[in-house]
Amino acid sequence: MSQEKPKNIDEYRRWLKTEHKEEITARSATYYDSATAKIVQAFESSDFWTSIKDDFRDTDAQYRLKNGYPLWASENPPKLIVKPFDSFLLKTFRKNVLENKNWPDSPKKGWILPDNWFSAVNDIVRTTFVVKYLDGVDFLVTSMRSLCAECKLDSKPHFEAREEGYYAAHFYVYREFEIPQVTWDTKRIRASVELQITTQLQEVIRQLTRKYYEERRERLKAPDTKWQWDYTSEEFVPNYLGHILHYLEGMIMEVREKQRNGAQ
């Protein structure tokens, strides 16, 4: 029996109800808000995040001592943000359906459903650190890995380099959280917080390309012409700008190091 693929979020909700007996209602969104609030609260009061905030200026100082330039593009540490419920549900739609190569069977790691989705979706809670220079990304990843080790937390970095010109490090910190269940009880889950690390220039282009990123994520199938060949498409320029900026940042590093070595 072939199962018709849901084509949009409404059909996905119906599919969840008919195939997995999971009804997504306003109550689901309320529960999501309350569970994620607990995750944020627990992470904010963790030794790891407290150290990140307390050592924010000292981390900058360590980078300056090593490289002679400031690390941060901002004065204060970023705030943790929660993925809105609609975006979260859309992500499960992408993972379960749009990007599921095994359809109509489950994705390789299994269906993402309410009983496991707080663990399966890795960026429900996230934030972005913006650094001035390209080498600041790796510097910060190394620093965060050491801090995770000190706090006895698992972590995993991913250096993203996407076709659409997106460049950033995504650093995942894993820990256990106690969240409310739909009933009065609580349950312990293992979930990750995503710390994105990007450069000042990439952050600028991210704001410009966000719109196309959102649209791309909701597509059921790829367009007939790849964006790389469609110079009239709105994505063409901003996506290539992302690549060009990354290249420019590499060149800026080269100039910076030559200046520094010349001065020495």
Partner 1 sequence: MKKEFEEYLRAINMPNSLIERIETIFPYIELLCPEEIVRLFVTDYVQEDGAREYESVLFFSKDFICEAKQFVTENDIDVTPINKRIFYITLKTQDYDLKNATEKSRIYAKVFFEEGPPTLNFDLKASKENCAYAVQMLSDILVPNLVR
Longest dimension (CA), the chain: 72
Q: How far is the CB of 76 from partner 1 (least distance, A)?
A: 9
Q: How far is the CB of 168 from partner 1 (least distance, A)?
A: 21
Nearer to partner 1, 70 or 107 (CB): 70
Nearer to partner 1, 53 or 190 (CB): 53
Nearer to partner 1, 57 or 156 (CB): 57
Residue 185 to residue 220: CA distance in whole angstroms:
38
Tokens of 83: 């993925």
Q: How far is the CB of 157 from partner 1 (least distance, A)?
A: 23
Give the DSSP per-residue string, 138-200: HHHHHHHHHHHHHTT-EEEEEEEE-TTS-EEEEEEEEEEEEEE-SSS-EEEEEEEEEEEEEEH
Nearer to partner 1, 222 or 255 (CB): 255
Q: How far is the CB of 199 from partner 1 (least distance, A)?
A: 15
Any idea of the CA torsion for 18, 98, 237, 158, to the nearest 10 degrees? 110
Which three-class secondary structure state does DSSP give residue 103?
coil
Q: Which residues of this protein are in contact with partner 1, per CB under 8 A? A: 57-58, 60-62, 64-65, 68, 70, 72, 75
Nearer to partner 1, 72 or 133 (CB): 72
Q: How far is the CB of 202 from partner 1 (least distance, A)?
A: 18
Alpha helices in the chain (DSSP H): 9-20, 26-44, 47-54, 56-67, 85-93, 117-120, 135-150, 200-218, 236-263
